[in-house]
Structure 1
Amino acid sequence: MPAVIVLGAQWGDEGKGKATDQLGQHTDLVVKFNGGNNAGHTVVIDGEKYALHLLPAGILSEGVTPIIGNGVVVDLDVLFEELEDITSRGVDCSRLLISSNAHIIPPYNRLMDQANERARGNNLIGTTGRGIGPTYADKMNRIGLRIQDLFHPEELRAKVEAALAPKNTIFEAVDLQVLDPAEVSDHLLSFAERVKPMLCDVSLVVNDALDRGDTVLFEGGQATMLDIDHGTYPFVTSSNPTAGGALTGSGVGPTRIDRVVGVAKAYTTRVGEGPFPTELDNEVGEALRTKGGEFGVTTGRPRRTGWFDAVVMRYATRINGLTDICL
């Protein structure tokens, strides 16, 4: 089975990191195709716990090439903090590859997350505040910054200045810090030489691997019910964690995929606002939360808990074309 997609079949936190790591030990490439450091995968190896946010789970598997695809949004500060952390613990990160088309999360989009939540008042979405949504919005508005822009300093500076001008007006209006475009640009450009050895054309690398008969695992962040198109909108993430997102987020065609594995818990959890039909807002739900250690890897927020939802699983099976379920 050379091309396998692994994704969440509920509202996230189903154990995708563990499933990806276990399957990833038998693959050649692991490709993260959506989201950013709003994801949180916990992997335990030989009793040691690793909390991954931006890096693919395949980073922990010896001999596997971990890849960050074009569908991911990259906070460069977080990227190198994570790399330094796990490198210091003896993990070889030299194989990491990143799409030059992946978008950068600039500092001003973290502030935009705060500004947007303030403007919503009591109608909160429950964002992680990492700047994910505003960065995807910039991407769709064609004012985003891609990693390849780091190697064209003057163009990057012009893009930052144009994107930041209207946002500074918003920051000032809601009593947030106004940012200097020159300082933002200098900070981003400081990463250029460090990220350069990792850059590649992910679509070419992955398709060449599949042509050779290598096994490629596509790792989804978040989950089906948080999909921007197919989830419980508007209480969703800003990308497509479903099977279709694996294709656009890495540059492969649908005919290359052999299996789609949906990961689910025997009960259900979700973080943040939004509908949750089987939620247990009582002592049973609290017992599930305590026994399951249901606290966000990225945010630390307590997760809402509830019974297994077979209707959601049937929906996730249809949306993703699941061939397998890991319960």
Structure 2
Amino acid sequence: MANVTVIGAQWGDEGKGKLVDWLSNRADVVVRFQGGHNAGHTLVVGDQTYKLSLLPSGVVQGKLSVIGNGVAVDPWHLLSEIEKIAGQGIVITPDLLVLADNACLILPLHRDLDQAREAAATKKIGTTGRGIGPAYEDKVGRRAIRVADLEDREALVAKIDRLLAHHTPLRAGLGLPPADGDALLAELEAIAPKILAYAKPAWLTLDEVAKSGRRILFEGAQGALLDVDHGTYPYVTSSNTVAGQAAAGSGLGPRSAGFVLGIVKAYTTRVGEGPFPTELFDEVGQHLGTVGREFGTVTGRARRCGWFDAALVRQSVALSGIAGVALTKLDVLDGLQTLKICTGYRLDGRDIGYLPAGLKAQAALEPVYEEMDGWSESTQGARTWKDLPAAAVKYVRRVEELIGAPVVLLSTSPERDDTILMRDPFQD
């Protein structure tokens, strides 16, 4: 049995929540390995809808769930999420949830800095304002407060002093008052017992799981095109979102990643600013947004919508070593007479098949489209390949050819069971 790593292969919001929930039935352990509570996964189980940001999707299935060291953790948000999901009947205990003791914390001063920067910027990045970026800055600057620091008051005091030495001039430059170190210490000491109840060496827990032969599902957040190194920089998130981060962000070696499953929407969306070669501003774009209910799980912001970009997904397949994709929201294309797929770009009179790194080049890209017939029949709720219209099958097969990876799962509605399985990643 292989482990499985699930990542978004576009700009996020591809429907990972449903697929991770579906795959959790086949896994023993679910691990979040990057990002913060800017990620949003929506799970629909029967008549219940669960909206998760920090908690791994496995908690809904009662599976051992791990928040890895690669995740930036807002401890107050984590506790509020635990409380909220408890109100829906899912009780989170330390036997169910493991929080890496070497994960870095998102603090109120990170949120202040994030929001002040975005408000002051003439060219906005489009962050969620939740402090994730500044928290990762402190992590790589070696001044972050980590989960384990909550049990050592002496270390905590020293770390807060070091942190404020960096943040005080930043805040002054943005017109913010100095952060109150004593108040921060009191807040952290008050929350420490509740957070430390879940804290463990996550790498050690996962090493034991791996040696016992149990199956691990690594759950990515955001999408590969928002990767801080490989995405549309600077309009990216602040962590690595490609599959390779599953190893570094969990503490397991790279051989543990197993089958890499890329989640791909049957069209393209993104939230926030940044390049989007196939973005639509016409009635088709409105159709995709309305029928697809394209609003961010975390922020509620309307998503930008466009045609499927095979060149971008092909790039994600290469960057993450994607072995197969799960194609979601095929039903949103129902009723469109003609469909378009971007196969590459024109840039300064030449053809290219990838997204260049430079902002100027990205802005100048002209998508090259291939047209296909749409279908009038409904695909919503289809659970077998033969239930799909011939034109829909043709569309899926063409997507496979253009991205260089097979479609192993096909999702036809938000419902968990409306999924067509061509190949089980855990059996690979």
Deviations 1:26-59 (A, max 9, x none): 2110000000100000001112111101111111
SS of the aligned residue for 2:144 comes to coil
Deviates more, 1:251-260 or 1:95-104: 251-260
Q: How does 1:94-243 map to 2 (within 5 A)?
A: 94=93, 95-121=96-122, 123-243=123-243
- Which one scores higher on RCO, CA 8 angstroms, separation ≥ 6? 1
Q: Which residue number corresponds to residue 73 of structure 1?
A: 72
Specify every segment of 5 or more residues in structure 2 that has no aligned partner in the other structure, as ranges.
Answer: 328-428
SS of the aligned residue for 1:313 comes to helix
CA contact (8 A) 1:2 1:210 kept: no
SS of the aligned residue for 2:197 comes to helix
CA contact (8 A) 1:2 1:213 kept: no
Q: Which residue number corresponds to residue 85 of structure 2?
A: 86
CA contact (8 A) 1:104 1:146 kept: yes
Deviations 1:157-187 (A, max 9, x none): 2211221234233323433343211101110
Counterpart Cα distance in 2 of 1:34 and 1:50: 20
CA contact (8 A) 1:168 1:178 kept: yes
Q: Which residue number corresponds to residue 244 of structure 1?
A: 244
CA contact (8 A) 1:39 1:222 kept: yes
Counterpart Cα distance in 1 of 2:179 and 2:279: 41
Deviations 1:283-302 (A, max 9, x none): 21111111111011111110
Deviates more, 1:308-317 or 1:158-167: 158-167
1:224 Cα deviation from its structure 2 partner: 0.3
Runs of 4+ in 1 over 3 A off after TM superposition: none
CA contact (8 A) 2:34 2:240 kept: yes
Specify every segment of 5 or more residues in structure 1 that has no aligned partner in the other structure, as ranges.
Answer: none
Counterpart Cα distance in 2 of 1:281 and 1:177: 42
1:202 Cα deviation from its structure 2 partner: 1.2
Counterpart Cα distance in 1 of 2:306 and 2:179: 42
Q: Which residue number corresponds to residue 2 of structure 1?
A: 2
1:204 Cα deviation from its structure 2 partner: 1.4
Q: Which residue number corresponds to residue 21 of structure 2?
A: 21
TM-score (norm 2): 0.74
Deviations 1:55-97 (A, max 9, x none): 11111013x1011000000001100000001112110211111
Q: Aligned residues, how many?
A: 325
SS of the aligned residue for 1:128 comes to coil
1:256 Cα deviation from its structure 2 partner: 2.3
Q: Which residue number corresponds to residue 315 of structure 2?
A: 315
Counterpart Cα distance in 2 of 1:182 and 1:155: 14
Q: Which residue number corresponds to residue 12 of structure 1?
A: 12
Root mean square deviation of aligned Cα: 1.2
Counterpart Cα distance in 2 of 1:56 and 1:211: 22
CA contact (8 A) 1:108 1:164 kept: no
Counterpart Cα distance in 2 of 1:137 and 1:84: 29
Deviations 1:173-232 (A, max 9, x none): 433343211101110121211122211111111121111110000000101000001111
Counterpart Cα distance in 2 of 1:226 and 1:281: 22
Identity %: 47
Deviations 1:113-169 (A, max 9, x none): 022223422x11111111000000000000111000001112112211221234233
Counterpart Cα distance in 1 of 2:229 and 2:307: 25
SS of the aligned residue for 1:186 comes to helix
CA contact (8 A) 1:18 1:43 kept: yes
CA contact (8 A) 2:5 2:243 kept: yes
CA contact (8 A) 2:117 2:174 kept: no
